[in-house]
Amino acid sequence: MKFNDGDRVKVKPHVWWPNGGVGVVSLPPEYVKKALSGEVELSSTQRTIAGKDRIVTSVWIDFDEPAMDCSDDGPYLGGEVLLEYLEHV
């Protein structure tokens, strides 16, 4: 499934985002790009990488309300979510 900048999406609850959430597909904020520069290519809303046993595509989401991930380090204003856990609203 393809998601474009500005699409409203629902994050289905799963291991990394246990409470799910609702938000908008967007480019990652500049502070995220700067923090990960040289390590990760963040030039579009979607990022595809080779996982251990499959290809993984993720999308950056700006949450409507701050969301907690599985680490309990949040709440987060936005974050990367695997494509398989997203649906259009």
Q: With respect to residue 3, please indicate whether it lies within any of the assigned structural domains.
A: no
Rounded CA gap, 83 and 24, in Å? Answer: 13
pLDDT digits over 40-53, tens only?
A: 666 677 888 888 89
Helix (H, G, I), strand (E, B) or coil at 64: strand
For the segment 78-86, the average pLDDT, to the nearest whole number, is 95
- Structure token pair of residue 10: 């629902």
Q: CA-based angle 83:22:50, to the nearest 5? A: 20
Q: With respect to residue 51, please indicate whether it lies within any of the assigned structural domains.
A: yes
Q: Lowest-pLDDT range, 2-6, 9-13, 38-42, 76-80? A: 38-42
Sign (positive or negative) of CA dihedral 86, 24, 49, 51:
negative
Rounded CA gap, 59 and 54, in Å? Answer: 17
- Using the structure block, give the residue that is written with the tokens 């289905």: 12
Percent of the chain with pLDDT over 70: 91
Give the residue, 31 or 75, on which the prediction is more confident. Answer: 75
Write out the residue range of the structural domain in which residue 45 sits: 8-88
Q: What is the pTM of this model?
A: 0.86
Q: How many domains does the chain have?
A: 1
Q: Lowest-pLDDT range, 6-10, 17-21, 25-29? A: 25-29
Q: With respect to residue 83, please indicate whether it lies within any of the assigned structural domains.
A: yes
